[in-house]
Amino acid sequence: MNKKFGIKEVVATGIGTALFVVLTTVQIPIGIPNTYLQPRMAVMAFLSAIFGPIVGAIIGLVGHALGDAIFYGSIWWSWVIPDAIVGLLIGIFYKKYMVREGEFEAQKIIIFNVMQLIGNAVAWILLAPVLDILVYAEPKDKVFVQGIYAFLGNFIIIGALGTILLIAYSKVAGRSKGLSKEDDE
């Protein structure tokens, strides 16, 4: 099965979403009340960069909806959908990142971060506020301020944690060339 969404992708989506849901409760406080960085976003970005945009988008969509539902008993669709967009956009160039080949380096790190910047901007500065206004008729100022916070938070956590994880994984998973044992001293 060499289609775009083969067995590996099905499983990566399924288990990736499970990981996303489990990490829902792991939040890094940043000193502003009720505002946290969400490591689960970095995990989604990681899997999207390895397995591609469809995997990323579904992890964002299902993971966010399911996480909301079982931990908070409600689903905020206006924030679920943008999450899928972030996963989708990060994964578009997944073949270029070459994470598993051990070559996630300088230029690729930049492409990854540009993509996540665009993804987060579209999702949180544009889409989430617009949906909030359309669905809940919430005040413009409020939703855009919220959107900008979400943008910053997710941009930081994916940019820092996501990048760290990808670099580390690329080093561990990639075949290492030209290693030789070093003798004492």
DSSP state for residue 28 in the 8-state scheme: E
Site string for another protein, 147-176 (x = CB under 8 A): ---------xx--xx--xx-xxx-xxxxxx
Backbone angles phi, psi at 183, to 5 degrees: -85, 180
> Does residue 107 belong to the site contacting another protein (CB under 8 A)?
no
Total residues at the site for another protein (CB under 8 A)?
74
Q: Is residue 109 exposed (0-12), middle (13-18) or buried (19+ Cβ within 10 Å)? A: middle
Taking CB under 8 A as the criterion, the residue among 28, 101, 105, 107 binding another protein is: 28
Taking CB under 8 A as the criterion, the residue among 41, 43, 44, 123 binding another protein is: 43
Q: Which residues contact 177 (CB under 8 A, 6 or more apart)?
A: none
- In sequence order, the β-bridge partners of residue 58 are none
Q: How far is the CB of 105 from another protein (least distance, A)?
A: 13
> Does residue 145 belong to the site contacting another protein (CB under 8 A)?
yes
Q: Which of residues 70-89 bind another protein (CB under 8 A)?
A: 70-75, 77
Select 110 or 168, whichever has its Cβ closest to another protein. 168
> DSSP for 88-99?
HHHHTTHHHH-T
> Does residue 122 belong to the site contacting another protein (CB under 8 A)?
no
Select 114 or 164, whichever has its Cβ closest to another protein. 164
> Does residue 25 belong to the site contacting another protein (CB under 8 A)?
yes
Strand, coil or helix: 45:
helix
Distances in Å between the Cα of 147 and the Cα atoms of 74, 130, 133 are: 20, 10, 12
Q: How far is the CB of 121 from another protein (least distance, A)?
A: 21
